[in-house]
């Protein structure tokens, strides 16, 4: 069972009893998503491209997806967004997940409501949520950006291995990047071992670091 918790920036997250973890940082769910995935991922790619493809590991509440859609509309981007989720949240819980930003809230509700596995053409946002297991992912598409938003390695170690990161590496275009809130040393080593160039910018709120993994170093 999942239940809603309000985090320190007044935005909601979910607590998963099955995984013993929250879906976002308790220090600020919205702040974390904006910092890790929008600022250190999407905003960087948007400096050089207006058509951007994003793969998200773990659709969860839809917060990252809705923030990305909002950013696309505010910054004249065209985004293709594919996300995977093995354990969709129940309708009962999703109706309790309410953000103070009503535009964001409407987008979350819309993305939660669309059917699984089909492609949906929304304004400046081509969206598909796959109901499935990342471990069995079989996608032929390539992406500019991966939001790697699995539960932590202590809870799901199988999702932070070299094996899975080598699949993520293949999914990216040559100049693509993967962002994650996780800054564990072993995770960074696993990313490096499959070929990523790993950086550790400051994390959101009180967190010292997060991780950005680049497929190739840019020359400029």
Ligand X SMILES: C[S@@+](CC[C@H](N)C(=O)[O-])C[C@H]1O[C@@H](n2cnc3c(N)ncnc32)[C@H](O)[C@@H]1O
Contact (Cβ atoms closer than 8 angstroms) between residue 185 and residue 195 = no
CB of 193 to ligand X, least distance (A): 21
| 94: contact with ligand X by CB under 6 A | no
With CB under 6 A as the contact rule, the residue among 10, 103, 118, 133 that binds ligand X is 133
| 203: contact with ligand X by CB under 6 A | no
| 131: contact with ligand X by CB under 6 A | no
Nearer Cβ to ligand X, position 156 or 175? 156
| 135: contact with ligand X by CB under 6 A | yes
| 187: contact with ligand X by CB under 6 A | no
| 163: contact with ligand X by CB under 6 A | no
CB of 29 to ligand X, least distance (A): 8
Segment interacting with ligand X (CB under 6 A) among 74-82, 131-139, 166-174, 205-213: 131-139
Phi, psi of 160 (to 5 degrees): -125, 25
H-helix or E-strand spanning residue 113: helix 102-113
Contact (Cβ atoms closer than 8 angstroms) between residue 98 and residue 51 = no
Give the C-alpha separation, 128 to 65, whole Å. 10
With CB under 6 A as the contact rule, the residue among 8, 86, 119, 189 that binds ligand X is 86
Nearer Cβ to ligand X, position 52 or 159? 159
CA 176 to chain centre: 15
CA dist list (Å): 56 to 5, 49, 96: 23, 19, 23
Phi, psi of 60 (to 5 degrees): 55, -120
Contact (Cβ atoms closer than 8 angstroms) between residue 60 and residue 66 = no
Nearer Cβ to ligand X, position 150 or 212? 150
> Under the rule (CB under 6 A), what is the footprint of ligand X?
23, 58, 60-61, 63-64, 84-87, 133-135, 149-151, 156
């Amino acid at each position: 069972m999942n239940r809603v918790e309000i985090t320190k920036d007044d935005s909601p997250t979910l607590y998963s009893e099955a995984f013993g973890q929250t879906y976002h940082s308790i220090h600020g769910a919205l702040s974390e998503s904006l910092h890790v995935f929008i600022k250190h991922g999407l905003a960087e790619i948007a400096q050089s491209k207006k058509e951007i493809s994003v793969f998200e590991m773990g659709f969860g509440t839809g917060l990252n997806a809705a923030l990305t859609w909002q950013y696309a509309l505010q910054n004249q981007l065209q985004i293709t967004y594919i996300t995977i989720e093995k354990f969709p949240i129940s309708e009962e819980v999703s109706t309790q997940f309410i953000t103070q930003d009503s535009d964001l809230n409407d987008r979350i509700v819309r993305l939660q409501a669309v059917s699984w596995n089909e492609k949906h053409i929304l304004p400046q946002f081509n969206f598909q949520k796959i109901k499935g297991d990342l471990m069995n992912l079989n996608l032929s598409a390539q992406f500019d950006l991966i939001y790697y938003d699995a539960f932590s390695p202590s809870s799901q170690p199988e999702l932070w291995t070299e094996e899975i990161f080598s699949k993520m590496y293949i999914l990216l275009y040559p100049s693509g990047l993967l962002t994650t809130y996780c800054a564990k040393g072993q995770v960074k080593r696993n990313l490096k071992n499959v070929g990523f160039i790993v950086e550790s910018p400051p994390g959101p709120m009180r967190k010292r670091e997060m991780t950005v993994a680049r497929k190739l170093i840019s020359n400029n």
